[in-house]
Amino acid sequence: MENLKTIKEVNSYFKDWSLLGDTDRLTTIKNLKERGRLQASSSSFSKDFTCPIHQFPLLKPCNLETCQYHISAATDDLHEHRNCLINRLDKSKGGKLSLQEIANVLGVPLPEVSDINEKAIVKIKKAFIKDKVEKLKIVRYKYLEGHCVSCGMNLADELEYDDLEPELIIELKKFGWCSVKCKTKKPKWQFLIENEFNCFFMEVLAVSLKTYDQETVELLYSVPEGSMRPLKSQLNLLVEDLF
């Protein structure tokens, strides 16, 4: 308040009174009571609560170094939000952003933001399933690195010295199959589920189907098209047994 230079700045200051914090309001009232009048100053206006790029007054300090976000005048009150994302979120969206808004603020392509968002959703869904699996009486186990994921044959030397065909190797040479027959018996998608959840893949699918629809489950675990069809009846019985 003490640093306002002109009557125009004073008017603008009180026009945005609702945007000021409690401390600023109390300081202004105290100064007016002590002086009894408004006085312009030659010092510059404080920018602690203004947009660092466009100088719009904000409800809180902004830490963004760049900002590509602009609110349309046709849909938003410019006096209320001052064309600023932070002000709008504070008043209307509870701090939530759409994917397009995130892309605009960060200045990155929308597909990149969407990809990050989808991966985050997958992690959250899997974490929810893991929590359910741990609460059920399900036999847990871990795969031994360097062994065939189907029959258990020791493949440590073959994996270390690249003596296996590339299509028989899984996950950075830690796991693999000893033969095409074993690969057919224990497909990669089944192994990946079991290695991640440390239990039989059918039980993971059953818990997942109790929570999500089949299409979501297939996408969640990258199940090849048609692979769950022959397992449907077994999965239905397993769901009944588990729950």
Mean pLDDT of the chain: 78
Q: Considering the domain boundaries, does residue 192 fall inside one? A: yes
Is residue 15 domain-shared with residue 131, that is, in the same domain? Answer: no
Is residue 189 domain-shared with residue 155, that is, in the same domain? Answer: yes
pLDDT at position 194, please?
95
Q: Give the number of domains in the chain.
A: 2
Dump pLDDT digits (tens) for 63-87.
Answer: 665 665 554 444 445 455 555 666 6
Better-scored residue on pLDDT, 158 or 10: 158
pLDDT at position 42, please?
36
Is residue 93 domain-shared with residue 155, that is, in the same domain? Answer: no
Last residue in a domain, options 68, 87, 106: 106
pLDDT at position 85, please?
65
Q: Which domain holds residue 137?
A: 111-242
pLDDT at position 179, please?
94
The yes-or-no verdict on residue 111 having pLDDT over 60 is yes
Last residue in a domain, options 106, 138, 157: 106
Q: Considering the domain boundaries, does residue 1 fall inside one? A: no
Is residue 226 domain-shared with residue 176, that is, in the same domain? Answer: yes
For the segment 220-243, the average pLDDT, to the nearest whole number, is 91
- Which residue in the block uniquely carries the two structure tokens 């100064």? 31
Which pTM was predicted? 0.60
pLDDT at position 137, please?
79
Instruction: Confirm if 179 and 167 have CB atoms less than 8 A apart.
Output: no
pLDDT at position 40, please?
43
Q: Considering the domain boundaries, does residue 29 fall inside one? A: yes
Is residue 86 domain-shared with residue 153, that is, in the same domain? Answer: no
Q: Considering the domain boundaries, does residue 162 fall inside one? A: yes
Dump pLDDT digits (tens) for 202-222.
Answer: 999 999 999 999 999 999 999
C-alpha span between 80 and 138 (Å, rounded) = 56
Is residue 97 domain-shared with residue 197, that is, in the same domain? Answer: no
